[in-house]
Structure 1
Amino acid sequence: MLLCIALSACATKLAPPVQESQPQPPKDDNTTAELLTSENFLLNSLLAQKEDWQGVPYRYGGLSTKGVDCSGFVYITFLSQLNMKVPRTTAELLKEGEPVARNQLAVGDLVFFRLARGNRHVGIYLGDEAFLHASVSNGVMQSSLGNPYWRKRYWQARRLVGR
């Protein structure tokens, strides 16, 4: 019994005091400040892409400023802004990352829609109900998930960028 008491006393030995003049790094890599910085970087990158590509016409199979389709725009955006290679097609993008509930969307998540005749559409979530995509009718643009057209066709979301 005395041996157990003696051993437990050793286990609770206090560490030497930390000098106040030297701040210690956070123990958790996922601090709120880091998440906010990461999300701000991601949003700024997406907004830069929007500025560069807004109005580029829709072209099925396209991957340039002469024309781009929705999955091509996602592919180019992730590659050029985040140095991240993602699949080129909507079907393959649907298999990537983790599913995200509609009420848990974060900047950079992919949002998917079911359109007429079995077509699928993909965009990149910007926050505050906004997403960036290559629209068949208007080319690269920002739209709202709250718009009746998109709200009715919303299907699912996936997260490719780690949080």
Structure 2
Amino acid sequence: MERFVGIPYVPHGRSYDGADCWGILFLYFRDVRGIEIPTYSAEMRDVEFRRREIARLVAAEKGQHWFEVEAPAPGDGVLMRVGRDESHVGIFLGGGRMLHSEGPHPSQIERMSDMRWRDRITGFFRYSPC
């Protein structure tokens, strides 16, 4: 996971030169799991990165390709609330840790039990291409 730590935060970014939270998830699934998930970069640019619109994209993915799980496994998505909206994602690493990117900070690994995150996590999701 070291290659995903320290990637600069760039809104709508989908590369190692810069990525937002979905960009980190996109890179992980593409480069580690060999799965192409939607980038949503154009959609996010169109809505000028409004969190409510991002939350709608996340909601659209739920139940289509992402299914909620009670007990996460490494590589599952972590969904978090920002304000009232579920609009932030990370990658569950196991051991109570997650990888994510939230501007203006570069991508990093944090404990989900940290005060900043523990009350914001709303669920864990597993990807299925079917």
TM-score by length of 1: 0.61
Q: Which has the higher strand share?
A: 2
Q: Which aligned runs of 4 or more in structure 1 are off by greater than 4 angstroms?
A: none
Q: Return the alpha-carbon distance in structure 2 between the equivalents of residues 129 and 87 of structure 1.
A: 27
TM-superposition CA deviations, 1:102-149 (whole Å, max 9, x none): xx1111110100102636100110101101111213211101110111
| Equivalence for 1:116 | 83
| Equivalence for 1:125 | 92
1:100 aligns with 2:69: yes
Letter in 2 for 1:152: D
Which deviates further from its counterpart, 111-120 or 141-150?
Answer: 111-120
Q: Return the alpha-carbon distance in structure 2 between the equivalents of residues 118 and 154 of structure 1.
A: 11
**Alpha-carbon RMSD:** 2.0
Q: Which has the higher helix share?
A: 1
| Equivalence for 1:147 | 114
1:60 aligns with 2:11: yes
Which deviates further from its counterpart, 92-101 or 142-151?
Answer: 92-101
Q: Return the alpha-carbon distance in structure 2 between the equivalents of residues 106 and 62 of structure 1.
A: 26
Unaligned runs of 5+ residues in structure 1 are 1-46
Task: Give the structure, 1 or 2, with the largest relative contact order (CA under 8 Å, sep 6 or more).
Answer: 2
Alignment partner of 1:83 out of 34, 40, 65: 34
Q: Partner of 1:75: helix, strand, or coil?
A: helix
Letter in 2 for 1:97: W
C-alpha contact (below 8 Å) 2:30/2:37 kept by paired residues: yes
Letter in 1 for 2:35: M
- Over the matched positions of the two proteins, sequence identity in percent amounts to 28
Q: Partner of 2:32: helix, strand, or coil?
A: helix
Unaligned runs of 5+ residues in structure 2 are 41-56
TM-score by length of 2: 0.75
Q: Partner of 1:139: helix, strand, or coil?
A: coil
User: For the pair shown, which has the larger CA radius of gyration, 1 or 2?
Assistant: 1
| Equivalence for 2:124 | 157
C-alpha contact (below 8 Å) 1:112/1:120 kept by paired residues: yes
| Equivalence for 1:137 | 104
